[in-house]
Amino acid sequence: IPVLSTAMSPAAVRRAAAAGAGILFDGGSNPERVRRLTDAYTAAGGTGPRALIRRVWLGTPPRAAFEAQFDVYRSYSSAEALSHWRGDGWICGDDPATLAAELVDTMRTTAASCLNLRIHAIGVEAAAARDQITALGTEVVPRLRQALTHSTEAPSRS
């Protein structure tokens, strides 16, 4: 059973590698920071999954809900962690192909081997969440799979 460590520093990814654990990156960090951590993990002998969290929304996003959720994350995150975050942490768009392409590009940039898509935010109604799960599952995820399985640039598994 793969075990993941939420490792967000060079020392933490080295510990995860030494323990034989994979790594789980938070959804707010910029891709360049995640790539540096991935490189440190693999340099330390890490071979487990490298899971990248990304918060996504297909269509018109509920910006007030996103901001409320981001406020929660900011309330408990250190200044050091916040210095590595990118915007509000969400990847949004109206076009499924463009959204999928951005996610693929982010996976390649970070060398992530798996992706954890999240849609929850404070104030998002259950029906809207279900609609997002359906839309992402039918319109975005198939494009992700296609791009990642039929490309020589797919994330490495090392």
Residue 70, CA atoms < 13 Å, CB-side half-sphere: 16
Round the average pLDDT of the chain to a whole number and report it: 87
State the pLDDT confidence band at 27, using cuts at 50, 70 and 90.
confident
Q: Given this model, what pLDDT does residue 29 score?
A: 84
Residue 23 φ/ψ, nearest 5 degrees: -130, 145
Q: Given this model, what pLDDT does residue 158 score?
A: 43
Coil, strand or helix: which one is 121?
coil
Q: Which CATH class is domain 4-149?
A: alpha beta
Q: Given this model, what pLDDT does residue 153 score?
A: 53
Closest alpha carbon to 55 in 36, 68, 41, 46: 68
Longest dimension (CA), the chain: 44
Residue ranges of the domains in the chain? 4-149
Q: Give residue-wise pLDDT tens across range 70-119.
A: 777 677 667 776 666 666 668 889 999 999 999 999 999 999 999 999 98
pLDDT, mean of residues 49-53: 96
